[in-house]
């Protein structure tokens, strides 16, 4: 009997051994290895961003990130209870974050709180044996050195969301990773991101690292140099301080953007370190729209800046020549309506150059009337209006060039001849962005060539080797030519020179001793007014006051810089926008 019992016991043991070694052997070996050997990802340092003169704008700083590995954090309620005391939050807050990591491997660290700071780090390290599964990793974190400067151009990073994670646009990215969400950080994320590394580590039963078995270093991202001049950018933002608007500056000979400012701005670092719901709401509900890049997304009536288009069309179509004159008595009778000139007493007899210099509305009413809306629209489109300029940034606005067919399609109502008069001076349905107007101004300055606005000068490896000499991102590109002969452009340029330098020019305030400037003012009405209405500027609500425009290039004969300025509800281009352009030109040419 005893013998039988011994045999049965041996048979049971042999069967169990066979089951564990043969049938479940592979799975048990895998679980055993997972329990003591882990693979950890190493984030690569993101590429640095410089301005055109090599001044560092964006770098990386160390961040102490607190994470949890669910497999090791047991009992989890006890661990979370203790952790919440050390980092001064509630257990419910931590548990709600943990619920977000549903579907993620229990062996992978899940970010609970980024950037905990050195004091909290010291507390966590002192109690790490009471916090199984809790670890602090030193990660490279984006640092925007100049805070709000060039925020709309550079953009920012933020954590990847679920939809982005499921897409195929971010290969190699995982939950908790930071990606470019806006601006250069997004558009050139593929260059900046780098390649992750990894390490193989041995851990004990509580998840603590015992030793590192193997390490593959991460490869840093490429560095990029922008075309902007940071000193000019800061000057532009300083000049816009307290106002809503935009300033854009370009090298007319290359299309390189020298400054691209939008006001008000925001601090990109807030997106990296994380902001509260209240902070986010305050940002997106701000009536001055700080998150909008007004230089490329803002759409405004071009006002009298558009007279450059009307002048080119009139001269090219032979409707006027340099000596043609129209008489301005302060208004122009068309049908049963009087179209006013901004100067109530009138300009008298004016030719095209003087009409540009003094911004005579009556002159351009009559040129526009003779052209007709569709011929006017053709010239506007050929000058680059009505379509994106091609700058390599997201969400660039197209603007609007109205035609008779467009209005019929949009409203079902036929085009009225009187509407052509409004369009010919840049009012009515016209819409442009400050960048589109900058490209037009640059083209007038350089003899008629429209360049694609460039924001990237070079792309370099971390060792400084330039990798993109032939890249379309950095190469000068012509997108078109103004539909204007050399003679036509010379007449227009003469008028723009007189805007600043003639005795009755509308922007004499923009003059600088020693620098020859050409320009054009504009005052864009926000709401229409009746012909006999005489608004009292003291009582007009601020949000109903017109937008102030000014464009300029300098030096007039050999332009090195072109500038486009708009100040929302700034009323008069000469008094509000022109001084900004003047100081910007002075800064760039005299630095």
DSSP summary character for residue 414: P
Assign residue 52 a region (left: φ > 0; alpha: ψ between -120 and 50; beta: otherwise): alpha
Cα–Cα distance measured from residue 551 to residue 569, given in angstroms and rounded to the nearest whole number = 17
Catalytic residue numbers, as ranges: 304
Could you tell me what percentage of the chain is helix, strand and coil, using 3-state DSSP and rounding each to the nearest 5? Answer: 40, 25, 40
Q: For residue 123, give Cα distances in angstroms to 6, 64, 118, 303.
A: 58, 13, 9, 62
Assign residue 574 a region (left: φ > 0; alpha: ψ between -120 and 50; beta: otherwise): alpha
Question: Which uninterrupted H or E stretch holds 580?
Answer: helix 578-590
Q: What count of other Cβ atoms lies within 10 Å of the Cβ of residue 526?
A: 15
The two three-digit tokens of residue 296, written as one number: 């490329």
- Which residue in this structure is represented by tokens 């300055």? 445
Cα–Cα distance measured from residue 289 to residue 271, given in angstroms and rounded to the nearest whole number = 17
Those residues whose C-beta lies under 8 Å from the C-beta of residue 198, and which sit 6 or more positions away, are 39, 40, 41, 42, 215, 216
For 84-89, the CB contacts below 8 A with 24+ separation are: 86/120, 86/123, 86/124, 86/127, 86/131, 87/113, 87/116, 87/120, 87/123, 87/124, 89/113
Cα–Cα distance measured from residue 194 to residue 46, given in angstroms and rounded to the nearest whole number = 6
Task: Identify which of 163, 226, 234, 156 has the alpha carbon closest to the alpha carbon of residue 189.
Answer: 156
Residue 103, classified by CB atoms within 10 Å of its CB into exposed (0-12), middle (13-18) or buried (19+), is exposed
The two three-digit tokens of residue 581, written as one number: 């352009």
Cα–Cα distance measured from residue 374 to residue 414, given in angstroms and rounded to the nearest whole number = 13
Cα–Cα distance measured from residue 562 to residue 439, given in angstroms and rounded to the nearest whole number = 9
């Amino acid at each position: 009997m005893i013998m039988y019992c011994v045999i049965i016991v041996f048979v049971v043991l042999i069967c169990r051994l066979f089951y564990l070694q043969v049938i479940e052997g592979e799975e048990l070996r895998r679980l055993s290895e997972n329990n003591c050997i882990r693979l950890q990802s190493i984030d690569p340092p993101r590429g640095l961003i410089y301005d055109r003169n090599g001044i560092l704008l964006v770098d990386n700083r160390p961040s102490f990130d607190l994470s949890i590995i669910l497999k090791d954090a047991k009992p989890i309620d006890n661990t979370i209870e203790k952790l919440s005391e050390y980092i001064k939050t509630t257990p419910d807050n931590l548990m709600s974050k943990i619920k977000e990591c549903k579907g993620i491997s229990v062996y992978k660290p899940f970010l609970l709180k980024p950037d905990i700071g050195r004091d909290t780090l010291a507390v966590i390290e002192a109690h790490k044996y009471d916090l199984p599964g809790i670890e602090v990793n030193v990660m490279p974190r984006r640092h925007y050195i100049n805070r709000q400067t060039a925020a709309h151009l550079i953009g920012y990073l933020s954590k990847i969301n679920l939809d982005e994670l499921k897409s195929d646009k971010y290969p190699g990215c995982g939950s908790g990773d930071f990606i470019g969400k806006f601006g250069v950080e997004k558009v050139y994320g593929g260059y900046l991101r780098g390649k992750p590394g990894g390490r193989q580590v041995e851990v004990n039963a509580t998840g603590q690292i015992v030793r590192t078995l193997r390490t593959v270093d991460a490869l840093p991202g490429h560095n990029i140099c922008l075309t902007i001049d940071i000193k000019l950018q800061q000057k532009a933002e300083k000049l816009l301080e307290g106002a809503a608007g935009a300033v854009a500056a370009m090298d007319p000979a290359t299309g390189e953007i020298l400054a691209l400012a939008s006001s008000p701005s925001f601090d990109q670092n807030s997106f990296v370190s994380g902001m509260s719901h209240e902070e986010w709401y305050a940002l997106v509900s701000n009536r001055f729209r700080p998150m909008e890049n007004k230089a490329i997304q803002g759409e405004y009536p071009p006002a009298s800046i558009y007279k450059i288009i009307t002048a080119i069309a009139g001269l090219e179509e032979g409707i006027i020549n340099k000596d043609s004159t129209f008489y301005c008595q302060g208004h122009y009778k068309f049908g049963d309506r009087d179209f006013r000139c901004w100067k109530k007493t009138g300009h008298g007899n004016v030719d095209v150059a003087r009409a540009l210099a003094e911004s005579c509305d009556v002159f351009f009413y009559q040129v526009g009337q003779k052209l007709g809306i569709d011929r006017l629209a053709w010239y506007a489109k050929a000058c680059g209006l009505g379509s994106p300029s091609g700058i390599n940034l997201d969400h660039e606005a197209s603007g609007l060039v109205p035609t008779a067919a467009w209005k019929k399609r949009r409203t079902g109502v036929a085009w009225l001849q009187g509407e052509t008069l409004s369009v010919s001076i840049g009012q009515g349905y016209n819409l442009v962005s400050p960048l589109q107007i900058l490209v037009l101004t640059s083209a007038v300055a350089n003899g008629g060539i429209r360049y694609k606005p460039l924001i990237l000068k070079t792309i370099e490896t971390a060792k400084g080797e330039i990798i993109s000499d032939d890249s379309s991102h950095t190469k000068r590109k012509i997108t078109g030519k103004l539909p204007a002969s050399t003679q036509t452009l010379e007449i227009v340029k003469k008028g723009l020179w007189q805007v600043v330098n003639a005795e009755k020019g509308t922007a004499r305030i923009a003059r600088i001793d020693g620098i020859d400037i050409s320009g054009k003012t504009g005052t864009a009405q926000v709401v229409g007014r009746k012909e006999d209405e005489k608004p009292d500027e003291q009582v007009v609500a601020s949000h109903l006051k017109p937008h102030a425009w000014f464009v300029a290039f300098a030096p007039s004969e050999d332009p090195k810089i072109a500038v486009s300025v708009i100040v929302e509800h700034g009323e008069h281009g000469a008094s509000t926008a022109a001084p900004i352009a003047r100081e910007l030109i002075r800064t760039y040419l005299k630095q």
